[in-house]
Structure 1
Amino acid sequence: MREFTADEQAILQLHKDWWESNNGLDVPRMRQVFPTGDAYLMFNLNGHPYFGIEEKTNLWQWYRGRIEITAPLVKIMRLDVVGDLAYIAAEGVFPSRQLRQADDSGEVLLIGESEQSFPPEIRMRATEVYKRDDGTGELRWTMWHFHCSPLPPADEPRPSVGDTSEQRGLGAVPGHEIFGVVG
C-alpha cells in the first residue's frame, strides 16, 4: 500500500470517522467530521438535500427510530488533495434493518410503509468533498459536501462495457490499488 501524506492521513481519518459513525447513528462522532453552521451540504441517499450540521443531526435523529445501520464496508476509488481542497470517491455496502415502532394507540407499525422503506443491504457510491476550514475559519480539515446515490445491482452489466460490479469488485478502478479504511 502506498504511503500517505499528512493531509491524506487527516482526510482518511475523517472518512473513517464518518462511515463508522453511521454504525448505530453515532451523532457526536458524526458531528466532528463536518464544519459548524450552515456550510455543509449533503445530497443524501434518500434523494433529498440537507443544509448544515443541524439539519443533518435532525435527519439522523429521525432515522434512529426507523432504521438500524451496522458497520459498512467502504472502498476508496479515488483520493485527491490539492491545496486546501480534497475529495474521496468511494463505493460501499452497509447492512440495515427496518425497525418497528408503536403508534399512539400502541399498535406496532412497520416504519416505511407510508414514509420510506429500507432494504436489508444498501449498495451505494459516494463523493466526499473536504476543505481545510472548520466553518469558523480555523484551518482544520472537515467534510463540506457529501453526495450519496445507489449502486446498480451487483450482477447488472455496465452499458457499453459489459462487466458487473460483482466481477470488477467493490471500489475497483482499472490500474489503481483498491483500499479502504472502513470495514
Structure 2
Amino acid sequence: MSDIQYIQRSAPAEDIDEILRLSREWWESNIGYVIPRMVQVFPSPGEEYLMFNFNGHPYFNMREKVALWEYYRQSEDLVGTPEVRVMRLEVRGDTAWLACEVRIDEVALADGAHDDDTRNTLLVRATEIYHRDNGEGAPQWRMWHTHISPLPPADEPRPGFGDTTDDRGLGWVPWQPLPEREA
C-alpha cells in the first residue's frame, strides 16, 4: 500500500495503523480470492455488512460475499500486487472512512489455464467504512461497508479541468504536488 496522501492528523496512530492494515489485508486477499484472509477484515458474523461490488450488484452479508468469491474463484484470477493509493482517511471516534484508487492486474481463466493474452488491468476507486466493532461488540476495527466502482479510462479528460488519470497519477489529490514523471 502506498504512502498516505491525507490523514486526519488528530486520530491516534494505532487506529490509523490498524485501519490501513485491514485495508491492505482486504486488497491483498483479492489476489487469488483468499477467503479466510478476507473474512478477517469484516465483522463476524457479518449479517449487517453491505458491499456495493465492482460488478454493480449489492452483497448484504458475509455469506453472500463468500459465495461471490467462490463464484469468481472458478471464473477468473487476479495476479500481482494491487497498487493502492489512499487519497483520504478520516477517523472520527469509533468510525472511519478511507477513499482510494486501485490498480489490479487480472487474468481470465480459460478452460482452467492462464492465457497471457487475456491479461488486462482493473482500475477502480473504493470507499471503505470502518467501525470499532468486530460484529460481536468487541472494540476492534472492522470494515462494515465498501463501495467499489470503475475509474474512467486513464486517458479520459476530467470535465471542467482537462487533466487525466495518466496526467495526475493514481490517487493524486489537489493538495499534493503533481507526481514527478519519468522522462
Could you say which residue in structure 1 is the equivalent of 2:172?
172
Deviations 1:99-126 (A, max 9, x none): 1248xxxxx9xxxxxxxxx971111000
Is residue 64 of structure 2 the alignment partner of residue 90 of structure 1? Answer: no
CA distance in 1, matches of 2:69, 2:177: 33
User: What is the aligned partner in structure 2 of residue 57 from structure 1?
Assistant: 66
Q: Distance in 2 between matches of 1:35 and 1:81?
A: 18
The root-mean-square deviation of aligned C-alpha atoms, in Å, is 2.2
Secondary structure of the residue that 2:62 maps to in structure 1?
helix
Q: Is the 8 A contact 1:65 1:101 kept in 2?
A: no
| Partner SS state of residue 65, structure 2 | helix
| Alignment map for 1:25-36 (pairs within 5 Å) | 25-36=33-44
- Tell me, in whole angstroms, the C-alpha distance in 1 between the residues paired with 2:176 and 2:39: 31
Q: TM-score, normalised by structure 1?
A: 0.84
Work out whether residues 23 and 69 of structure 1, in 8 Å CA contact, stay in contact via their aligned partners in 2: yes
Deviating above 4 A after TM superposition, structure 1's stretches of 4 or more consecutive aligned residues are 1-4
Point out where structure 1 has 5 or more consecutive residues left out of the alignment.
103-107, 109-117, 179-183
- Quick one: which of 56, 67, 91 aligns to 1:47? 56
Shift of 1:176: 3.6
Output the CA distance in 2 between the equivalents of 1:129 and 1:58.
22
**TM value normalised by structure 2:** 0.84
1:7 aligns with 2:7: no
Amino acid at match of 2:104: F
Matched residue SS, 2:107: strand
Paired with 1:12 and 1:177, the residues of 2 have a C-alpha distance of 23
SS at 1:65 equivalent: helix
1-side partners of 2:83 and 2:126: how far apart?
Answer: 12
Q: What is the distance in 2 between the residues matched to 1:13 and 1:129? A: 14
Mapped to 1, the partners of 2:70 and 2:132 lie a distance apart of 27
Are positions 1:17 and 2:25 aligned together? yes
Identity fraction in percent: 49
Aligned residue identity for 2:76: I
Secondary structure at the counterpart of residue 161 of structure 1? coil
- Aligned-pair distance for 1:35? 0.4
Pairing partner for 2:75 from 44, 57, 66: 66
